[in-house]
Amino acid sequence: MKRYLPIIFFLVLFISLLKSLFQDEMDIPSPLIGKNMPSFSLTRLGENTTVTDQDILGEVALINVWATWCVGCKEEHQLLLSLAEEPSIKLPIIGINWKDQDQLAIQWLDELGNPYQEILSDPIGNTAIDFGVYGAPESFLIDRDGFIRYKHIGPLTLPIWINEIQPLIEELKQ
Amino acid sequence: MKYLITIIFLFLTSNSLISADERPTTDQQEMYQSIIQEVRCLVCQNQSIAESNADLAKDLRAQILDQVIAGKTKYEIKNYLLDRYGDFVLYQPVFSEKTLFLWISPIILLILIVGWYRKISN
């Protein structure tokens, strides 16, 4: 037994290092999952009216942090549009336009289509910090009571929607 | 000369525009500097927010400075960051269930080495 000890030690070290080699560094678990979404009060894009976190309670919703300067946001835009247009998917998508110019954002949506039920503008980025955002796009699934149930960093894709988000929504809607 | 006086005048008046309580004291400045060196920039993960030019790093620096000036403690500010970005945001790992092994492993290693040393010297 004693003879094998160095070999066992080596294997444990080897496997744990090998594992971290393939770990996705960008995937940092959010401490906000399972917690109430941060409170906010933001103006609607291009308007003077405000929306608070209380206004979007009552329904399972997707909060999507995006900007016109963000390449990944263009990538996921088509998927967001199809989610918004599909009548069987009743999921309000709330956009938070992060550190952007209102004019550019409005133009962007005019050209590419608008999947958002509400678009809030966060030019300074304080609400994004409260949500723990560090790179757009980021998406949060919020349950009826305003708890964050899921977070995805980076562009949403169809496999992520089918395998992760859709089952979770069905579970939350029950 | 006239220009110089104008420049000095502008400098003095612009300085006085910042009210006294908005300016950090030397202690606060030191605290601010020490905090930003301990906070990881999540956009460019091998830099602290003190070193990084990323937009988010600038925003976080501004947030931290505001809170330092508002009189928050280092502990409160670190908790503010931990609540939003998780353990990974601080370079020094916090002591928790997840990091227990990390913290006690040097002690375990020391005990093993002492035991081994005593055995071979016998």
Q: What is residue B4's predicted lDDT score, i.e. its pLDDT?
A: 63
Instruction: Flag whether residue B29 sits within 8 Å of chain A, measured between CB atoms.
Output: no
Write down the pLDDT at residue B5. Answer: 63
- The burial of A97, by beta-carbon neighbours within 10 Å (0-12 exposed, 13-18 middle, 19 or more buried), is given as buried
- pLDDT of B15 higher than 50: no
**CATH class of this structure's domain A36-173:** alpha beta
Task: Give the closest residue to A136 by CA, choosing from A82, A68, A79, A84.
Answer: A68
CB contact under 8 A, B82 and A31: yes
Question: A133-137, B5-9, B14-18, B109-113: which has the minimum mean pLDDT?
Answer: B14-18
Q: What pLDDT digit, counting tens, does each position of A61-111 carry? A: 999 999 999 999 999 999 999 999 998 898 999 999 999 999 999 999 999
A17-39 mean pLDDT = 82
B24-48 pLDDT, tens digit per residue, is 888 899 999 999 999 998 888 788 9
With an 8 Å Cβ cutoff, is B27 touching chain A? Answer: no
What the block records as the tokens of A23 is: 């770990």
Average pLDDT, chain B: 84
Query: Cα-flanking dihedrals φ and ψ of residue A5, to 5°?
Result: -55, -50
Instruction: Report pTM.
Output: 0.79
Dihedrals phi, psi of A9, to nearest 5 degrees: -60, -45
As to burial, measured by CB atoms within 10 angstroms (0-12 exposed, 13-18 middle, 19+ buried), residue B6 is exposed
Q: Where are the domains of chain B?
A: 25-91, 96-122
Q: How far is CA A1 from CA A7, A12, A22, B86, B114, in A?
A: 10, 16, 32, 41, 21
Q: Between these two residues, A16 and B6, which has the higher pLDDT value?
A: A16
Tokens of A126: 């304080």
d(CA A104, CA A66): 12
- Rounded to the nearest integer, the mean pLDDT of chain A is 92
Q: Is the pLDDT of residue A29 over 80?
A: no
Cβ separation of B86 and A135 shorter than 8 Å?
A: no
Q: What is the CATH number of domain B25-91?
A: 1.10.8.640
